[in-house]
Amino acid sequence: MGTPGPSIGQSFGDSWNERMRLIRLRRKKEAFRFSDEFRIIPKWLKVLCLVLYVIAIAIGASVMVYAPDARPADMQNEMGLSVLAISGIITLASIFFAGGILLLGYVNRDAKRRGMNSALWTWFVLLMLPTSVGIIGMIIYLLVREPLAYPCPRCSNPVGARFNFCPNCKCDLYPSCPNCKREIAETDKFCPYCATELRPASGESTTAQA
Ligand SMILES: [Zn+2]
Ligand SMILES: [Zn+2]
């Protein structure tokens, strides 16, 4: 009667496999370097964190200097020490505060460059931050984020992570074993699952077109 379509379990399995494939692809193609990741956080946000920190230190220190009553009971006559103490407390608080702000800035920019809903993900990570599980939102984000576009192995044209073929040179970006149909790497000589000999990629002659 009904059109024979994939069952719910089947299509869930398919999307799960697709997700796993994208995660493997990301691990393979994306080298994580902290300095590179840090660079995508908007500069104004970093400057803002620094300015807020300096202002907080200035306020804290001047209170300690000019309002001796505000010093802790056992440091009433210790101006230098109380300035040092308040600076330490403010620094510690700032590390957490700025860490959260920079994290959100990172998620926002990173989601955008991966073609994800950046506003949604920024809110998600933000709303999780104050909870007892705090960083879990960030962990979830890192696990499910889309892979970045990467250069085509044959023509270096940027290709999306979900592409099966390069739109520029038709290179097979998702090579599979002709025998067992499972995913293989571009460099495999034999299928790692069924040992079928794999032909060298048809486009081996990479005579660059200037
Ligand atoms: Zn290509
Ligand atoms: Zn095979």
pLDDT confidence tier of residue 112, bands split at 50, 70 and 90: very high
Rounded distance from Cα 121 to ligand 2 centre (Å): 38
The angle formed by the CA atoms of residues 128, 134 and 136, to the nearest 5 degrees, is 80
Q: Is the pLDDT of residue 133 over 60?
A: yes
Rounded distance from Cα 155 to ligand 1 centre (Å): 4
Q: What pLDDT is recorded for position 43?
A: 95
Q: What pLDDT is recorded for position 207?
A: 43
Q: What pLDDT is recorded for position 4?
A: 55
| In the chain, where the domains are located | 31-146, 149-203
Find the helix or strand (DSSP H, E) in which 71 lies. Answer: none
Residue 131: what residue type?
Answer: T
Rounded distance from Cα 156 to ligand 2 centre (Å): 27
pLDDT confidence tier of residue 146, bands split at 50, 70 and 90: confident
SS3 88: helix
| Nearest alpha carbon to residue 125 among 115, 143, 140 | 140
Return the structure tokens found at 171.
């290179």
Rounded distance from Cα 154 to ligand 1 centre (Å): 5
Q: What pLDDT is recorded for position 108?
A: 96
Rounded distance from Cα 203 to ligand 1 centre (Å): 10
Per-residue pLDDT of 151-169, as tens digits, reads 888 898 988 888 888 999 9
Rounded distance from Cα 201 to ligand 2 centre (Å): 16
Rounded distance from Cα 173 to ligand 1 centre (Å): 9
Per-residue pLDDT of 177-203, as tens digits, reads 889 888 887 778 899 899 998 876 544
What value does the mean pLDDT take over residues 96-125?
93
Does pTM top 0.75 for this prediction? Answer: no
Point out the ligand nearest to the CA of residue 167.
Answer: 1
pLDDT confidence tier of residue 109, bands split at 50, 70 and 90: very high
Rounded distance from Cα 202 to ligand 2 centre (Å): 18
Residue 161: what residue type?
Answer: A
What value does the mean pLDDT take over residues 105-128?
93
Q: What pLDDT is recorded for position 200?
A: 60
Point out the ligand nearest to the CA of residue 206.
Answer: 1
Rounded distance from Cα 128 to ligand 1 centre (Å): 40
Cα–Cα distance for residue pair 188/49, rounded to 1 Å: 48
Point out the ligand nearest to the CA of residue 166.
Answer: 1
Per-residue pLDDT of 85-104, as tens digits, reads 999 999 999 999 999 999 99
